[in-house]
């Protein structure tokens, strides 16, 4: 039996796509999905994050990284872990 996405997952993926498009990205990456998850206070990952840190701070830091020159997108050369910049 093939599992089907839940309505919440479908909504998260749609929102991730909207986030990517709004940033001018031609792809949806895990960073877009993470931002979409963080927007849903009822999601289990967001609830767990909220027990540890402020989800808004996670969103702000992710946003800062995604707006930085060091942000690797599929259109830039990806580095392997440990590879010098």
Tell me if 80 is assigned to some domain: no
Enter the tokens of residue 73: 């997108």
Asked whether residue 82 carries a pLDDT value surpassing 90, the answer given is: no
Q: pLDDT band for position 10 (50/70/90)?
A: very high
Q: Which domain does 27 fall in, by range?
A: 7-66
CA distances for 8 relative to 5, 25, 27, 57, 58, angstroms: 8, 23, 21, 23, 21
Distance between CA 30 and CA 67 in Å, rounded?
Answer: 15
Model confidence over 25-80: pLDDT tens digits?
888 999 999 999 999 999 999 999 999 999 999 999 999 999 988 887 665 444 44
Model confidence over 15-27: pLDDT tens digits?
999 999 999 888 8
Distance between CA 25 and CA 35 in Å, rounded?
Answer: 14
């Amino acid at each position: 039996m093939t599992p089907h996405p839940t309505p919440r997952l479908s909504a998260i993926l749609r929102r991730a796509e909207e986030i990517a498009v709004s940033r001018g990205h031609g792809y949806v990456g895990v960073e877009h999905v993470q931002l979409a998850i963080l927007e849903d206070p009822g999601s289990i990952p967001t609830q767990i994050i909220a027990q540890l840190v402020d989800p808004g701070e996670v969103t702000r830091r992710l946003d800062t990284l995604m707006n930085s020159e060091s942000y690797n997108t599929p259109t830039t050369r990806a580095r392997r872990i440990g590879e010098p910049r």
